[in-house]
């Protein structure tokens, strides 16, 4: 086998793909690649079109994938914003360009392929929205029954529409994401459902391709810093592991520093980084306009703390006002429309630069995780729709000249 599952807590190693948590200590499992058994070089990947399955030798499945051409997202130079923020180079890895509009598709193509391989009858997740939208779509494509638990009244409209329309059984829960996730974990332990939250190691393997793609798109030149919004803390951990994989395989010569950004109202990872604690103190009442990262008890926190610390990075919290201002700035100066949680990475970058954590001469990649159309209601609250006018060229010409 070119991979195994390793427990993040007790270090035991397993070769049993049906596991989603350590059978010995209950800890999180991570896919570890056996680098000696993987025969790839830079040209293996350079000769293929860009996407998740470009990196199939590094993914823990051998079956035909359940796929919709996920990944292959743009890495957009943002020169005007770089100047504005005060760094020498800024690129935005825009994950909103995935099939269902978020980075979750990278994980689901791998995770749902594994679910089908294992013969799962029901796949399930708790979600702040994007995970459910993605799982609903991939489960539909695979022909597997899908159940999603959502915090009632706290999921952005576009995401809810996706989950419903792809035919998932949507169960709104009177509680927050953390409450919903603990229920799904319990049902998974009882064998009722196959869980596709970011406790699933196969899903997170797919998300490592964000790092693989960044390196490939930059001709294997590694950025100084990578800035990522943090909710349940799976993505920042997966991206860091992706860089480590390429480093261990000898495909890159450096590693970036990893920077996490949370919202002021939901910042347990930031608190732990600041205090030097080994684990987070859960926040029982997370609240933020960026509903995607409205999470008080991130399950992957320990891995995220490790990624940030081992890489020499840091974490900050940003206010809702800073998030919405960054969202607008990215849209108006660079043409990139992202949802509020994604804009946290841009708002966070500003803070890291102000703090001197990221230097003015550095080369930065911000990961924007979801499309702006996911949450149209939030942007319409700050946009004014002008009064209609008659379709009269003179009236409209006057309007344009007057502007
Ligand atoms: N950005 C967006 C747009 C997200 O949807 C999420 C997580 C994150 C960032 C944070 O990523 O959890 O790996 O740290 N959304 C999950 C969901 C929780 O249910 O859709 P993370």
The preferred substitution site among 131, 203, 231, 266 for testing ligand 1, maximizing ligand atoms within 8 Å of CB, is 231
The preferred substitution site among 292, 307, 318, 374 for testing ligand 1, maximizing ligand atoms within 8 Å of CB, is 292
Residue 222 banded pLDDT, cuts 50, 70, 90: very high
Question: According to the model, what pLDDT value does residue 276 have?
Answer: 97
The preferred substitution site among 93, 130, 163 for testing ligand 1, maximizing ligand atoms within 8 Å of CB, is 130
103-201 CATH fold:
Rossmann fold (3.40.50)
Which residues lie with the beta carbon below 6 Å from any ligand 1 atom? 102, 127-131, 198, 229-235, 292-293, 339, 341-342, 369-370
**300 CA to centre of ligand 1 in angstroms:** 12
Can you tell me whether residue 13 is helix, strand or coil?
A: strand
Determine the atom of ligand 1 nearest the C-alpha atom of 126: 19
**293 CA to centre of ligand 1 in angstroms:** 6
Cβ of 186: how many Cβ atoms within 10 Å?
12
**pTM (two decimals):** 0.98
Residue with tokens 């495909």: 251
Letter string b/e over residues 31-43, b meaning 16 or more CB atoms within 10 A of that residue's CB: bebeeeeeebebe
Question: According to the model, what pLDDT value does residue 271 have?
Answer: 98
Q: Which residues have CB under 8 Å from 398's CB, separation 6+?
A: none
Q: Mind listing the pLDDT tens digit for each residue in 390-400?
A: 999 999 999 99
Q: Region 244-259: what's the mean pLDDT?
A: 98
Closest-CA residue, ligand 1 atom 15, reads: 292
- The helix or strand, by DSSP H or E, that contains position 164, with its residue range, turns out to be helix 157-165
Tokens (6 digits) for 93:
């890895």
Residue 369 has phi, psi (to 5 degrees) of -90, -25
Q: Region 86-98: what's the mean pLDDT?
A: 98
**369 CA to centre of ligand 1 in angstroms:** 8
Matching CATH number, 75-101+203-382, of 3.90.550.10, 3.40.50.1970, 3.40.50.2300, 3.40.50.1100 = 3.40.50.1100
Across-strand partners of 187?
Answer: none
326: pLDDT strictly greater than 90: yes
Task: List the one residue out of 131, 125, 136, 140 whose CA is nearest residue 104.
Answer: 131
Q: Mind listing the pLDDT tens digit for each residue in 163-203?
A: 999 999 999 999 999 999 999 999 999 999 999 999 999 99
Question: According to the model, what pLDDT value does residue 272 have?
Answer: 98
CA distance 273 to 260: 10
DSSP assignment letter at 25: T
**386 CA to centre of ligand 1 in angstroms:** 34
**128 CA to centre of ligand 1 in angstroms:** 7
Give CA separation, 8 vs 35, 80, 119, 203, 235, in Å.
Answer: 18, 41, 26, 16, 16
Task: List the one residue out of 71, 91, 142 whose CA is nearest residue 113.
Answer: 142
Q: Mind listing the pLDDT tens digit for each residue in 107-136?
A: 999 999 999 999 999 999 999 999 999 999
Contact 47, 342 (CB under 8 A): no
Question: According to the model, what pLDDT value does residue 402 have?
Answer: 86
**342 CA to centre of ligand 1 in angstroms:** 9
Domain 75-101+203-382 matches domain 103-201 at the CATH topology level: yes
Cβ of 398: how many Cβ atoms within 10 Å?
12
382: pLDDT strictly greater than 90: no
The preferred substitution site among 293, 323, 348 for testing ligand 1, maximizing ligand atoms within 8 Å of CB, is 293
219: pLDDT strictly greater than 90: yes
The preferred substitution site among 95, 108, 128 for testing ligand 1, maximizing ligand atoms within 8 Å of CB, is 128
403: pLDDT strictly greater than 80: no
Question: According to the model, what pLDDT value does residue 314 have?
Answer: 98
**88 CA to centre of ligand 1 in angstroms:** 28
Question: According to the model, what pLDDT value does residue 287 have?
Answer: 97
* Angle, in degrees to the nearest 10, between helices 234-248 and 301-311: 50
Please give the mean pLDDT across all residues of the chain. Answer: 97
DSSP assignment letter at 65: P
**291 CA to centre of ligand 1 in angstroms:** 9
* Torsion of Cα atoms, 381 then 94 then 205 then 255, to 10°: -120
- Sketch the domain layout of the chain as residue ranges: 75-101+203-382, 103-201
**232 CA to centre of ligand 1 in angstroms:** 6
Closest-CA residue, ligand 1 atom 10, reads: 231
Across-strand partners of 100?
Answer: none
Q: Region 330-359: what's the mean pLDDT?
A: 98
């Amino acid at each position: 086998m070119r991979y195994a599952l390793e427990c993040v807590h007790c270090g035991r190693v397993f070769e049993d793909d049906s596991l989603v948590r350590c059978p010995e200590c209950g800890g999180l499992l991570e896919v570890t690649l056996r680098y000696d058994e993987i025969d790839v070089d830079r040209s293996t990947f350079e000769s293929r079109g860009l996407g998740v399955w470009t990196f199939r030798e590094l993914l823990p499945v051998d079956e035909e994938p359940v796929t919709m051409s996920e990944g292959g997202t743009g890495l957009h130079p943002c020169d005007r914003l770089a100047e504005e923020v005060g760094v020498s180079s800024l690129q935005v890895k825009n994950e909103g360009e995935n099939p269902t509009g978020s980075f979750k598709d990278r994980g689901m193509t791998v995770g749902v392929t594994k679910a089908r391989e294992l013969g799962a009858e029901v796949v399930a997740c708790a979600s702040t929205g994007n995970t459910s939208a993605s799982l609903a779509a991939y489960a539909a494509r695979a022909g597997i029954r899908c159940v999603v638990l959502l915090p009632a009244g706290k999921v952005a409209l576009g995401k809810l529409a996706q989950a419903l329309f792809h035919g998932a059984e949507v169960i709104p829960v009177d509680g927050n994401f953390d409450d919903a996730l603990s229920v799904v974990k319990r049902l998974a332990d009882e064998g009722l459902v196959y869980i596709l939250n970011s406790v699933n190691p196969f899903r997170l393997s797919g998300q490592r391709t964000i790092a693989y793609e960044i390196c490939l798109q930059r001709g294997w030149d590694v950025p100084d810093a990578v800035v990522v919004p943090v909710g349940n803390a799976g993505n920042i951990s997966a991206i860091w592991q992706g860089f480590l994989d390429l480093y261990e395989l000898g495909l890159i010569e450096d590693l970036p520093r990893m920077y996490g950004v949370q919202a002021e109202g939901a910042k347990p990872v930031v608190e732990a980084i600041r205090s030097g604690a080994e684990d987070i103190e859960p926040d029982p009442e997370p609240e933020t306009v960026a509903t995607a990262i409205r999470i008080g008890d991130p399950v992957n926190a320990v891995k995220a703390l490790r990624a940030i610390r081992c890489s020499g990075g840091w974490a900050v919290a940003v206010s809702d006002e800073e998030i919405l201002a960054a969202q607008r700035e990215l849209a108006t100066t660079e043409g990139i429309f992202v949802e509020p949680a994604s804009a946290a990475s841009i708002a966070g970058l500003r803070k890291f630069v102000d703090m001197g954590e990221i230097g003015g001469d550095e080369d930065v990649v911000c990961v924007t995780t979801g499309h702006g159309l996911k949450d149209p209601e939030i942007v319409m609250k700050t946009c004014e729709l002008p009064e209609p006018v008659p379709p009269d060229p003179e009236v409209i010409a006057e309007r344009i000249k007057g502007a």
